[in-house]
Structure 1
Amino acid sequence: MRKILLLVSLPVTAFFAISCSEDGVHYQEFNYTTPETYTFERSGASTVDFTGQTNRILMLDEMGAYIKNQGNAGAVVDASKLSDMFSNVNGQFTNADLNAATDKQLKNKTAASTDFFVNFNGDGSAVEPLSVRFFFENQFTNANLASGGHEASAGTAGTYLDGTSKRLFAVNGLEPQQVLLKGMMGACFLDQIVNNYLSKNVLDQGSNRANNTNKVLEQGQNYTKMEHLWDEAYGYIYGGDDLAAESPVRKFWSSYIKQVDDDSDFGTLKEDIELAFRKGRAAITAGDYVTRDMQIDIIKEKLALVPAVRAVFYLKEGKAKLATDGGAKAFHELSEGYGFIMSLRYTNKPGTNMPYMTKAEVDAILNELTGGTFGLWDVDYLNEHIDGLAEQIATRFGFTVAEAETVN
């Protein structure tokens, strides 16, 4: 039986893999360095490309901005327009480049990973992708029903004033815009990162490993297939970071990683994720697949903490605002928490190829959160249930509620 032991040095020096077998110990040296930034070149030209991921980040951002702007204006949200944007048809984006990228869309990448939905690992099924996509399209309908300027109340969709902003709330008190944004961060972006592009079933599919080892580049490109797959995972986190400073785009996972990292209880999370991406990419170019796989596990573990910590934070923040700021602020926070709880189903626990929380467990938490009379409008019900839900999530992911509450 063959065993692998890896000796990993500092980020900028060489890596040595030691393979042990019954025949003895064999040493394989990989003479490469890990760069200080995510910069990789071949023959003086960049090998990094995650244009498709940047496009999808921009698509989701524009969908969220459309709902927000219509709500603030007291105008009607067009659910069919949002549905078109979801599928990228009929040229509905204000960004002409997104309309031109007709081969890129959000819908067909939602709940669509190889490990959880194509191969049906992680308690996935052929039915689930359709139901998840329908759920998000239902948020378009909810936003439409809430729009137009009429006031929200228990059991009535409408507008609720949050300071100077007008927020749209569904009949159960959830904010469709926030459920869409945070939920899609999990069902699309996170699912694609950890269950698809960082899946060994995808990275090593067919001749990918042999072609990568032999530096067989994709036709007309300056990268191997494996290099590009890794870059696509990276792009779902950082694909919005290099846009112009004046751009209104949300950074999504990149932004929330930083927020969690800013808390001393999770202080190296951002650096750990960034280093693992750089180290794994360098390892791929060098053909060092043992190091690559180690970095996959680091990314999966560290990234899973982000939606869990934010879910607990928003649950507790929402509960606090129920008593101090009233419905709009509290419902906004709880809706963000709802979306991050949804994301927990798409995490991937290293060594298991399963989520940290199963779909059934996540659904049970979501159902309990909205289980009061008219959902979030039942403040007494929420006050009785939120603490237990927060504790359940924190315990599963290995931190305390108190630690998550201090993340701003």
Structure 2
Amino acid sequence: MKSNFYSLGAMLLSLSLLTSCSNDDNGNNTVNYEIPTSYTFERNGATTVDFSGQTARLQMLDAMGAVYTTAATDGTTLDGMTLQNMFSNTNNPFALNALNTSGKNLKSKTAASNDYFTLFLGGGSTTEKVAVQSFFESQFTTGALASQGNAASAGVAGAYLDGSKMRLFAANGLEPQQVLLKGLMGAVMMDQISNQYLSVNTLDNASIRIENTNKVMAENANFTTMEHYWDEAYGYVYGADDATNNSLKYWSSYIEQVNADTDFNTVSAEINLAFRKGRAAIEANDYLVRDQQIAIIRKNLALVAAVRSVYYLQEGKAKLVQDNGAKAFHALSEGYGFIMALRYTRQPGTDTPYFSKEEVDTMLATLTSGTNGLWDIDNLSPKLDAVAGQIASRFGFSVAQASTVN
């Protein structure tokens, strides 16, 4: 993974304080309210923002990724049961005890949005939810198999020295660590943002909208339930950032990497402003503006996933001539994970993702088709181009534009 770190504070301060005017919920009066330059909201002198649960889950994912890194670096056998316990947060698996006692876990939030998998729209099913969770659990077993001391080769799970970094590859060439990390960015973070917490079905469910309008606080809290749902979506993007060390993680980091390209250099500002503007609109009971910001966030976050998918496929393609193709597999595994995330995107104004489950499954199967998956390098380049072209075309950019993002 290529990492670019940006000063979060500088980015936020560069966005000027804005004022919005919009009709209230009844459409009778115009209300004025300010959009703050940072994601700071208070009531009676105390913060109303809480996304601690999201931060905990992102920290859990960090810890899971570190299990693969440690096994690969130290040449030790990866313990798949440790990863299983981390995924479900059972048997106190984390070194940070606050995570063990948090009551949070990643498994229950994997492919678990109400809109796509359980209640509202019927776009998915609980059967699919279980299948997706099982797929990620299979990456624990694959990682353990790859750590048994074999050198990675066609049809053989094992370790590969990529420059100074040791990596673990499955028999088909995929890197289970990256499939897990990038895949859960989609199946947990993207799904919960676009199809759960920013779903109108969730935000306006039951009495939530009435309570927000009347500023009825959630139990033992300084926020309304609607405010909190919005904060939780925000937390899945920015909840692991460390402004002190200028460190961005997961979606926040990739938003900035995509934004660094001139073809996509409005993505970061649009997402950040939409989160702040939507939250301010919720406080002001301006639900029309709230919903407009939901569309902006969904569209831009999906674009980031698409651009990174294409970028990594093309980066991998450029490295296929090295080490019998193995040099390419880290990038291709990241691309594979980002393609998985496309299933959890949401087209604004619709109840559907930019790519259906069936389309995503077909693209993934194309990449790993053949006797030994990615190791079939003689036939891999045209597959990479075809999938990259399909994604770019759907989102309205060119493969060349996405390939220049670093």
Question: Shorter-chain TM-score: which interval?
Answer: over 0.9
- Aligned letter for 2:96? N
**Counterpart contact for 2:22–2:286, Cα < 8 Å:** no
Equivalences for residues 8-407 of structure 1 within 5 A: 12-17=18-23, 27-101=28-102, 103-119=103-119, 121=121, 123-242=123-242, 245=245, 251-324=249-322, 326-407=324-405
Shift of 1:348: 0.2
Decide whether the 8 Å contact of 2:24 with 2:287 is kept in 1. Answer: no
- Aligned-partner SS, 2:65: helix
The answer as to whether partners of 1:168 and 1:175 remain within 8 angstroms in 2 is yes
Question: 1:14 deviation in Å?
Answer: 3.5
Q: Is the 8 A contact 1:372 1:382 kept in 2?
A: no
Return the alpha-carbon distance in structure 2 between the equivalents of residues 190 and 352 of structure 1: 16
For 1:223 and 1:30, locate their aligned partners in 2 and report how far apart those are by CA, in whole Å. Answer: 20
CA deviation vs aligned residue, 1:23-72 (integer Å, no higher than 9, x gap): xxx64211211000000000011000000000000000110011111111
Partner of 2:6: none
Greater Cα offset, 112-121 or 298-307 = 112-121
TM-superposed CA distance for 1:250, in Å, is: 6.5
Aligned partner of residue 33 in structure 1, secondary structure: strand
Distance (Å, rounded) in 2 between the aligned partners of 1:44 and 1:149: 58
Q: CA deviation at 1:19?
A: 9.3
Q: What is the RMSD of the two structures over their aligned residues, measured on CA atoms? A: 1.7
Question: Aligned partners of 2:101 and 2:385: how far apart in 1?
Answer: 47
Report the equivalent of 1:4. none
Q: Distance in 2 between matches of 1:346 and 1:378?
A: 29
CA–CA distance in structure 2, aligned partners of residues 289 and 383 of structure 1: 47
Mapped partners of 2:224, 2:290: distance in 1: 15
- Deviation of residue 16 (structure 1)? 2.4
Contact 2:146 2:170 in 1 (8 A): yes
State the TM-score, normalizing by the size of structure 2.
0.93
In structure 2, what residue type is equivalent to 1:113? S
Q: Is the contact between residue 71 and residue 148 of structure 1 (CA under 8 Å) also seen in structure 2? A: no
Gaps of 5+ in 2: 1-15
Contact 2:242 2:248 in 1 (8 A): no
Give the structure-1-normalised TM-score.
Answer: 0.93
1:73: Cα distance to partner? 0.7
Deviation at 1:203, TM superposition (A): 0.4
The equivalent of 2:12 in structure 1 is none
- Give the whole-Å Cα distance in 2 for the aligned partners of 1:185 and 1:127: 20
Residue in 2 that maps onto 1:7: none
User: What is the CA-CA distance between 1:363 and the residue it aligns to?
Assistant: 0.2
Are the counterparts in 2 of residues 121 and 354 from structure 1 also a CA contact under 8 Å? no
Per-residue deviation, 1:401: 0.4
Whole-Å separation in 2 of the counterparts to 1:30 and 1:19:
10
Change (3 A) 1:250 1:326: farther
Deviation at 1:328, TM superposition (A): 3.5
Contact (CA 8 Å) 1:237, 1:253: kept in 2 or not? Answer: yes
CA deviations over 1:193-227 (Å, ceiling 9, x no partner): 00000000100111100100101001111000000
SS in 2 for 1:344: helix
Change (3 A) 1:306 1:70: same
SS at match of 1:13: strand
Contact 2:320 2:326 in 1 (8 A): no
Whole-angstrom CA distance in 2 between matches of 1:374 and 1:332 = 16
Cα distance, 1:116–1:95 mapped onto 2, change above 3 Å = same
Alpha-carbon offset, residue 330 of structure 1: 0.2
Q: Distance in 1 between matches of 2:25 and 2:141?
A: 57
Rounded Cα–Cα distance in structure 1 between residues aligned with 2:324 and 2:293:
44
Distance in structure 2 (CA, Å) of the matches to 1:327 and 1:95 = 38
Q: Distance in 2 between matches of 1:373 and 1:270?
A: 41
Name the % identity. 58
C-alpha distance in 2, partners of 1:328/1:382? Answer: 12
Q: Partners of 1:387 and 1:120 in 2: how far apart?
A: 36
* Letter aligned with residue 234 of structure 1: Y
- CA deviations 1:270-301 (Å, max 9, x no partner) are 00000000000000001000000000001011
Structure 1: 5+ residue runs without aligned partners? 1-9, 21-25
SS of 2:33's partner is: coil
Provide the secondary structure at the position in 2 that maps to 1:355: coil
**Counterpart contact for 1:71–1:149, Cα < 8 Å:** no
The verdict on how the C-alpha distance between 1:244 and 1:139 changes in structure 2, with shifts beyond 3 A counting, is: farther
CA apart distance, 1:148: 3.0
SS in structure 2 at match of 1:322: coil
Is contact 1:114–1:196 with CA below 8 Å preserved after alignment?
yes
Question: SS of 2:30's equivalent?
Answer: strand
8 Å CA contact 1:123–1:358 kept in 2: the answer is: no
CA-CA distance at 1:402 after TM superposition: 0.7
Query: Given that residues 167 and 328 in structure 1 are in contact (C-alpha distance below 8 angstroms), is that contact kept between their aligned partners in structure 2?
Result: no
Which amino acid in the other structure matches residue 101 of structure 2? A
**Secondary structure at 2:215 match in 1:** coil
